[in-house]
Structure 1
């Protein structure tokens, strides 16, 4: 015959229970105050999209005050019968949220690694929490006094103390550090980054935080291309005799095609590195009526544009010229060039009046998948 032993374990739970003499402040309504900070999208330029780039105090947010009550401790009536005792300053502990890993300390601020929605760790965050008479204190800090001398507060056992509406912990500032270049878009899910505890003395224990700081947001490194290192593209068509222009409108001057190779450098292409096509188009400041030529300051002279293969290019942005680009790197960079030809042409069929002439157009880089 088998003997079966049975036991009964009784668990007692008490909502919002604290040791009566611990000197800890707790939320009067039983719920932790939440300071939720939403950021972005924050745009990182191509020049700044590199390891070590820091955005200091990128975001500040402030919520309303929140009510707490404080237990008496041994210095303030903490022995039975826990008589109500007045006190003035409140002390604060600021910790990084559990699970955050320290990345680095820099500029008086600790930065903690953030995981984005893909699990990557491109970004780290530094947090400063507002504490009265201390401005914004960098996490972590330990038993920091608000140095208050007025008004007085009353502590007690349980919820017997007076209600105190806290300003400290209702505002925070965020700073960001790029651990790696941003690849397109980074989405940070709702993440707790700091916990704030409050108490009556400089040795109160950590129990339940009175306030928590959470963040959520987006960081973007847009696709960006630099053409000719940001310099104007000057094309000199040379000296042309008026007699070289044809009486046929649209006819180019023979032997006058000028080849131009323009350097192109693009960043932020990681999300489309396997599918992106990069092309260029021409947009004349003053195109001819049929958009086949760029008009010039000489009313009888136009300029025709051809792609690298010699095909005519419309100058209203509707024609695409292929760019010769390198493979897009893992961090989204690619370099290459656009090749085109320019040729003077007869705009009207009339012999042009001898003089210098100029024309303006914009070279536009376009992405497609």
Structure 2
């Protein structure tokens, strides 16, 4: 009769140990999102690159350092978890690419180790938007690596995601100048957990928005039969029509070719 309370007590202890709390993480004290932007201003796309199927990498992202502001209470020891989601919704010519405009598709590639726990390069797509990126590092103010709001001994500053690369794919050649307004391409989200479990999808908050902007110019040029003689048939003109020196024959109409 004395065994039942003992068993109940053990079950309660086991349940308590398995429980893990979690929540969202933002950037800096405002818990907002930092923006990293690839600026492609005044880039000239030469003739050999301005063809369907050509790929080229955009400029390095401009980035700023920031610190975590997670919703956990000050002094709490937690682990950080990340997810990366595409912002664009129209898929491009193949998996991993999204339609940027009528002439360009864009692909986002995260570099290994640029996000803690990311061991290999990862292309951001709809297939990876719920993939959680984890590492076993424990962050705490007690070890001078606090990430919770109110922690005075903080981790960072950091610039995770700053080495992300954008690949542009020409779907349709263009002429003249193309303006790319500031466009969010993908977002890195963060959450915290204080146990062995995983945060729910709703826990994740935006940490870093990855965007692109700028101007591309494709020079306009035209070469007709370069190096060859061009023959133009103007038809028959009666010699009697030539009445004035250095002037067109009478009744002749100029044709534009």
Structure showing greater relative contact order (alpha-carbon pairs closer than 8 Å, 6 or more residues apart): 2
Which of residues 208, 211, 214 is equivalent to 2:205?
Answer: 208
Gaps of 5+ in 1: 1-20, 73-81, 116-120, 234-259, 264-310, 312-323, 327-369
Partners of 1:42 and 1:133 in 2: CA distance: 35
SS at match of 1:176: strand
Contact 1:196 / 1:212 at 8 angstroms: preserved in 2? yes
Aligned to 1:131: 115
For residues 304-338 of structure 1, give each alpha carbon's deviation from its aligned partner in whole angstroms, at most 9, with x where no partner exists.
xxxxxxx9xxxxxxxxxxxx997xxxxxxxxxxxx
Gaps of 5+ in 2: 1-20, 232-245, 247-254
Which residue in 1 is equivalent to 2:173?
Answer: 181
Please report how far the alpha carbon of residue 146 of structure 1 lies from its aligned counterpart in structure 2 after TM superposition: 5.1
**Residue 18 of structure 2 is aligned to residue 26 of structure 1:** no
Structure with greater helix percent: 2
- Counterpart of 1:112 in structure 2 is 98
SS state of the match for residue 53, structure 2?
A: coil
TM-score by length of 1: 0.45
Question: Do the aligned partners of 1:62 and 1:172 also contact (CA within 8 Å) in 2?
Answer: no
SS at match of 1:177: strand
The alignment's C-alpha RMSD in Å is 3.5
Larger Rg: 1
Which residue in the other structure is 1:172 paired with?
Answer: 164
- Alignment of 1:47 with 2:45, yes or no, is no
Please tell me whether the aligned partners of residues 68 and 147 of structure 2 are also in contact (alpha carbons under 8 angstroms).
Answer: no
2:38 is matched with: 37
Measured at CA, do residues 44 and 132 of structure 1 come closer, stay the same or move farther in structure 2, by a change above 3 Å?
A: same
- Which structure has the highest strand share of the two? 1
Matches within 5 A, 1:276-291: none
Give the TM-score taking structure 2 as reference length.
0.62
CA distance in 1, matches of 2:44, 2:122: 26
1:94 aligns with 2:84: yes
Give 1:261's match in structure 2, choosing from 229, 233, 248: 229
